[in-house]
């Protein structure tokens, strides 16, 4: 008989498992110096092979679905337990400037280890040359302190009328890769500088006063300023009364006090059911995961379709990267090309919704666990929000002969998290609808990254938003990775990608009225062929189609991928940031869609 398992193979690592993984790697350090120099960038689950997930869902975890496994002669061979879980660690050695990747096998971990003993086993480790892992909040704080304590910097700020360093904000930005001088053989940052006013506002918006003309380059490994130049004296923008994000009346405006309360209540509780990280709602079921880099991950998405039972749709859904290139060629903005997932981590910058709930109604929260820079475990409580929303009309019809009308309201299930990366906030939402639709949505909020203007100056590459202040033009690219499995059991490869374009029929005997159009399909046979762009003029979309299953009309089943508003990079083909972001040159790459 299968043994009871405490963690599903796709569950995020627990705090105890992270502690074991860190202790195992640290103990494997050859010398005390090596162990003391280890900085733990990321500890995440090694996702198992799909057949292991199927085995777990079939026999080890409710709702127990043996149909997920292929039929075999003599019946299935059921092991007594699942393979041990594994952790993948990205470790930075501060002394040697080396980045290494470790795989650690974890035994059953029920609580934090005691007495200094660890229960993990190193499976592999390798040094990855000439790369830099994401920067950490601890490094950011240390970098800010180093810059503010640098005498030439203090002198430059004094020229601008600022002597109180407590007002100064130093935002370290990854140096990017504009030339060989920026090569990732060194851990470098080029900070952006801002300055608050001497107000007593508890949430002063320092981003409204950018400090321009100061060039700083910081060696983040040794935490020293290695380049400094006060290139141009640009006056600080004046303190605008609208700069802060306090209540409107405190800024000379009026609050919307005439809005009456709107109550969202569910007196009988929610319609969803949650067991651990497994969610069931309105025929949908899936698992919730979370990683330091991506944040929210949705696993094993399926739809229960009457007599056809559980129909798989996707093995894994997530946003894997976010690229923000700026379009102003002036200093320092041309270097602002953020890779917010790879350079910072969307998950590690997630909010605890205990500090301000962004959802309404009956809410189920999920916590997230991470390692900090020194290997300690930190928990973001109430990190992921699960709730239902009323979404207007799903379907309606009124018969004009009888006057009878029927209407169905739309309910959707939303899974979300929100993160802050420097000045911006990003809300990531996955919506599941009653009509079988899945929608990915990103909400952008927070504060703009701004630039200062000389008196009377305007900028072609931005919008003036206040005296002496402008917002440089820029783009946000959100990269979604979808590992689809439409009507496929684990191990099956019966999916293909088809592109659909609407075509206008040529005038002739088949189109004598010149009104005919039709949908034309093209099978995309390789990833190279699948490097495609959106085309609203032909209503272009893609279908991930199963090659064996048919619906009741005899057509092959599939899931349609419909792009939203979209745009390719508004930069020249030789733009420096595209060396790291060649994937942005097309909207679709195989099963990856960019929105």
Q: Which fold has domain 137-245?
A: Nuclear Transport Factor 2; Chain: A, (3.10.450)
Instruction: Round to whole Å and give the CA distance between 385 and 358.
Output: 8
Q: Helices then strands (H, E): number in the chain?
A: 5, 32
Q: Which long-range contacts (CB under 8 A, 24 or more apart) does 579-587 make?
A: 579/177, 580/176, 580/177, 580/337, 580/339, 581/323, 581/325, 581/337, 581/339, 581/477, 583/479, 584/323, 584/477, 585/531, 586/531, 586/532, 586/533, 587/532, 587/533, 587/534, 587/563
What pTM does this model have?
0.94
- What are phi and psi for residue 465, nearest 5 degrees? -120, -10
- Please, which residues bridge with residue 579 across strands? none
Of the listed 11, 57, 136, 340, which one is catalytic? 340
Q: CATH topology of 15-128 equal to that of 137-245?
A: yes
Q: Which residues of the chain have pLDDT under 70?
A: 1-5, 108-118, 247-255, 355-357, 590-595
Judge whether 533 counts as a catalytic residue. Answer: no
Question: Cβ(294)–Cβ(318) under 8 Å?
Answer: yes
Of the listed 303, 424, 426, 470, which one is catalytic? 424
Question: Could you say which DSSP state residue 522 is in?
Answer: E
pLDDT at 3: 56
pLDDT at 116: 45
Take residue 56 and report the two structure tokens written for it. 């777990």
Question: Cβ(13)–Cβ(66) under 8 Å?
Answer: no
Q: Which fold has domain 275-449+459-484?
A: Beta-galactosidase; Chain A, domain 5 (2.70.98)
Q: State the residue for tokens 């009026």.
A: 254
CA distances in angstroms from 540 to 80, 82, 502, 537, listed in the order given: 49, 43, 7, 8
Judge whether 461 counts as a catalytic residue. Answer: no
- Nearest 10 degrees: Cα torsion 453, 457, 459, 462: 50
How many Cβ atoms sit within 10 Å of the Cβ of residue 364? 17
Instruction: Round to whole Å and give the CA distance between 251 and 428.
Output: 30
pLDDT at 594: 46
Question: Cβ(454)–Cβ(466) under 8 Å?
Answer: no
CA 336 to chain centre: 19
Instruction: Round to whole Å and give the CA distance between 118 and 27.
Output: 9
Instruction: Round to whole Å and give the CA distance between 21 and 103.
Output: 9
Domain ranges of the chain: 15-128, 137-245, 275-449+459-484, 494-595
Question: Could you say which DSSP state residue 31 is in?
Answer: S
pLDDT at 254: 66
> 360, 359, 361, 325: which is closest to 583 by C-alpha?
325
pLDDT at 18: 97
Question: Cβ(91)–Cβ(39) under 8 Å?
Answer: yes
Instruction: Round to whole Å and give the CA distance between 117 and 245.
Output: 49
CATH 3.10.450 fits 15-128, yes or no: yes
At residue 437, the 3 state secondary structure works out as coil
């Amino acid at each position: 008989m299968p043994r009871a398992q405490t963690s599903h193979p796709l569950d995020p690592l627990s705090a105890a498992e992270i502690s074991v993984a860190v202790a195992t790697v640290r103990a494997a350090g050859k010398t005390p110096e090596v162990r003391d120099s280890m900085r733990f960038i990321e500890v995440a689950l090694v996702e198992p092979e799909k057949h292991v997930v199927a085995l777990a869902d079939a026999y080890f975890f409710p709702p127990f679905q043996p149909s997920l496994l292929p039929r075999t002669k003599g019946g299935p061979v059921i092991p007594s337990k699942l393979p041990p879980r594994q952790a993948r660690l990205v470790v930075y050695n501060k002394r040697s400037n080396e980045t290494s990747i470790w795989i650690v096998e974890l035994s059953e971990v029920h609580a934090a280890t005691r007495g200094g003993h660890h229960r993990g086993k190193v499976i592999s480790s390798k040094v990855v040359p000439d790369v830099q892992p994401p920067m950490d909040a601890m490094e950011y704080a240390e970098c800010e302190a180093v810059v503010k304590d640098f005498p030439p910097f203090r002198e430059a700020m004094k020229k601008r009328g600022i002597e109180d360093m407590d007002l100064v904000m130093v935002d370290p930005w990854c140096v990017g890769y504009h030339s060989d001088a920026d090569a990732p053989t060194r851990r470098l940052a080029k900070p952006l500088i801002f300055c608050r006013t001497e107000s007593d506002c508890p949430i002063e918006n320092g981003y409204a006063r950018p400090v321009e003309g100061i060039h700083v380059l910081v060696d983040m490994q040794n935490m020293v300023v290695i380049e400094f130049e006060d290139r141009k004296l640009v006056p600080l923008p004046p303190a605008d009364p609208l700069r802060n994000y306090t209540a409107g009346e405190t800024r000379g405006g009026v609050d919307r006090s005439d809005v009456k309360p709107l109550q969202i209540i569910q007196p009988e509780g929610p319609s969803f059911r949650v067991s651990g990280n497994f969610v069931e709602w309105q025929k949908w079921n899936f698992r919730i995961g979370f990683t330091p880099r991506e944040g929210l991950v949705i696993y094993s998405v399926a739809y229960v379709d009457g007599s056809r039972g559980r129909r798989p749709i996707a093995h894994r859904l997530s946003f894997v990267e976010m690229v923000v290139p700026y379009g102003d060629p002036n200093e320092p903005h041309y270097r602002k090309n953020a890779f917010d997932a790879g350079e910072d981590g969307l998950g590690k910058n997630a909010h605890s919704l205990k500090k301000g709930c962004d959802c309404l109604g009956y809410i189920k929260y999920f916590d997230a666990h991470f390692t900090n820079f020194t290997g300690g475990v930190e928990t973001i409580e109430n990190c992921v929000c699960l709730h239902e929303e009323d979404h207007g009309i799903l379907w309606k019809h009124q018969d004009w002969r009888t006057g009878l009308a029927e209407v169905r309201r739309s309910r959707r299930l939303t899974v979300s998290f929100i993160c802050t990366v420097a000045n911006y906030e990003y809300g990531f939402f996955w919506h599941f609808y009653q009509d079988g639709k899945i929608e990915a949505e990103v909400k952008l909020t927070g504060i703009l990254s701004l630039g200062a203007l000389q008196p009377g100056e305007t900028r072609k590459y931005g919008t003036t938003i206040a005296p002496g202040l402008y917002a440089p033009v820029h783009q946000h690219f959100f990269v979604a990775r979808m590992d689809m499995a439409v009507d496929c059991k684990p191990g099956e490869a019966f999916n293909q990608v088809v592109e659909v374009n609407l075509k206008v029929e040529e005038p002739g005997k088949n189109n004598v009225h010149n009104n005919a159009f039709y949908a034309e399909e093209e099978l995309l046979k390789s990833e190279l062929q699948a490097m495609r762009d959106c085309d609203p003029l032909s209503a272009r979309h893609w279908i991930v189609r199963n090659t064996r299953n048919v619906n009741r009309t005899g057509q092959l089943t599939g899931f349609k991928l419909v792009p939203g508003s979209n745009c390719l990079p508004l930069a020249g083909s030789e733009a420096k940031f595209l060396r790291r972001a060649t994937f942005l040159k097309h909207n679709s790459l195989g099963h990856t869609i960019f929105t």
